[in-house]
Amino acid sequence: MAYYYNEPSRTFSEYLLVPNLTKKECIPENVSLKTPVVRYKAGEKCPLEINVPVASAIMQSVSDATMAIALARSGGISFIFASQAIEKQVEMVEKVKQYKAGFVVSNSNLTPEHTLTDLLALKTKTGHSTVAITDDGSSSGRLLGIVTSGDYRLSRTPLKSKIREFMTPFDSLIYGAEGISLGKANDMIWDHKLNCLPIINKDNHLLYLVFRKDYDDHKENPDMLLDQDKRMIVGAGINSRDYRERVPALIEAGADLLCIDSSDGYSEWQGETLHWIKQRYGGEVRVGAGNVVDKEGFLYLAEAGADFVKVGVGGGSICITREQKGLGRGQATAVIEVAKARNEYYKQTGVYVPICSDGGIVHDYHMMLALAMGANFVMLGRYFARFDESPTRKMKIGSNYVKEYWGEGSNRARNWERYDYGWDSKQKLEFEEGIDSYVPYAGKLKDNLDISMSKIKSTMCNCGATTIDELQRIARITLVSSTSIIEGGAHDVILKES
């Protein structure tokens, strides 16, 4: 007969943290939210960590290049959605990697003989307003000038005008010589009130560009997530069907981390995908897998080579897998069991495999509970879909602004190509596991994420912890009754109208 669990599966809303002694050193300024995201061996340093424990979901309505750049600036990681053509996903990854802090290899270059029309087309393609003008139009050609948006006016400059007619010529440029330090380059930018400083070699060939905005970004975003070349770190979703073509293209584009995207990761399809990637790249390519909800699922993926494991089935706000299939598990219970399995696996093998809690986050404090229960980081869809940086439309419905948000299990997502050009009824899903919806518009990512992370830091201090690892070792967690949930909110008062 079927196996029955004796205990009900529970959600984050059914738990609370119990305070520990807050020591004097436990203040938010001393709290580190840095967390590992890929497997590592005991005694070794994790090769990839993020500075805040959040990732944006592998969804069309959440994670594109704009979201990835914004989240990396704040210290988290995005996984560019996989339900699109390989070349489109590659373009998004490349766009994120081009946001290199410090010395930037110019990706927007033209010759003096190009026209304003060519310049505008390049600007539309890359989004760059600063274009280097070289003798051969390459990023390493002899520098002849620079064009910025201040060098021309669309209302007065004819579209057929040659760039040489309105560019800032080399003789008028201030530039740095090969070998200059980033600190010195930034000093020159400030001393001469520049927005961009070209760096050239002794033959006047362009090497790099240094931008004022990168310096400002670092000051405003101290947790910015960068690789060893000071480019933003970005993840990318893959599937278990076209991975033989998609993975090489994403790696070539510079993706730092991959993740197999599926609502049910406890499958031989994912096992085969992991084995292929590990054998093809000798373990050098980092890839997560999921989703699972129990010990067996975790062990299957960990032993197959997953660098992290995503936890959660049916808990997303737009996911209806449980309604449609009766499949899933309460998110808190799933995280607790998988975290225990992860710790046991570490003791037995000496290999630590991080876990990501995906789904079931309604309130900010749910993130805190997920971390305390053992998750190394959380993946969020609805949370990020509300922001300016998500790829969906901002709309006004009644007196409120909203943004579109749909699940990857919906017809809209699965048939992404046909959605733009008309539905093909023969290709529709027989049933959906996700819905098409709206979420309340919430403004800029940084403003909201800063508040959420401040709450987590403050709560960690109440728990007597200054790191996530310490939190997971000393946290005390209690179940709550339905009446205590009511007690925890505003009650027995008349609220003032805002």
* C-alpha to C-alpha distance for 289 and 307, rounded to whole angstroms: 8
pLDDT at res. 485: 75
Q: Which is the catalytic residue, given 259, 319, 461, 463?
A: 319
Measured on CA atoms in the order 362, 367, 373, 379, is the torsion positive or negative? Answer: positive
* C-alpha to C-alpha distance for 81 and 66, rounded to whole angstroms: 12
pLDDT along the chain (498 residues), means of 10: 93 97 96 98 97 97 95 97 95 88 82 94 88 94 94 90 94 92 87 92 93 77 89 95 96 97 92 97 96 97 98 82 82 98 98 97 97 98 96 93 84 46 48 77 96 98 98 97 78 76
Active site residue 319: yes
* C-alpha to C-alpha distance for 69 and 87, rounded to whole angstroms: 19
Active site residue 418: yes
CA geometry: angle 162, 163, 169, nearest 5 deg: 135
State whether residue 36 is helix, strand or coil: strand
Contact 66, 96 (CB under 8 A): no
Cβ-count burial 294-314 (b if 16+ within 10 Å, e if not): beebbbbbbebbbbbbbbbbb
The single-letter code of the amino acid at 446 is: K
Contact 137, 109 (CB under 8 A): yes
* C-alpha to C-alpha distance for 71 and 64, rounded to whole angstroms: 11
- Indicate the helix (H) or strand (E) that contains 124: helix 116-126
Neighbouring-strand partners of residue 17: 477
The torsion angle over the Cα atoms of residues 81, 86, 91 and 92, rounded to 10 degrees, is 0
Contact 361, 385 (CB under 8 A): no
Contact 262, 293 (CB under 8 A): no
Name the token pair of 182.
């980033």
Name 190's Cβ contacts closer than 8 Å, sequence gap at least 6.
Answer: 212
* C-alpha to C-alpha distance for 64 and 235, rounded to whole angstroms: 10
Residue with tokens 């007619």: 165
pLDDT at res. 316: 78
Say what angle helices 445-462 and 65-74 make with each other, to 10 degrees: 40
Neighbouring-strand partners of residue 434: 319
Among 31, 30, 80, 25, smallest CA distance to 368 is for 31
Cα-based distances in Å from 389 to 78, 316, 426, 445: 12, 20, 34, 7
Q: Which is the catalytic residue, given 10, 212, 280, 418?
A: 418
pLDDT at res. 23: 94
Write down the number of H helices and E strands in the chain. Answer: 17, 25
Neighbouring-strand partners of residue 177: 200
The model carries a pTM of 0.81
State whether residue 180 is helix, strand or coil: coil
Name the token pair of 289.
């897998």
Name the token pair of 96.
């994120």
pLDDT at res. 417: 33
* C-alpha to C-alpha distance for 312 and 382, rounded to whole angstroms: 15
Alpha helix segments (H runs only) across 192-306 = 212-220, 243-253, 268-281, 295-304
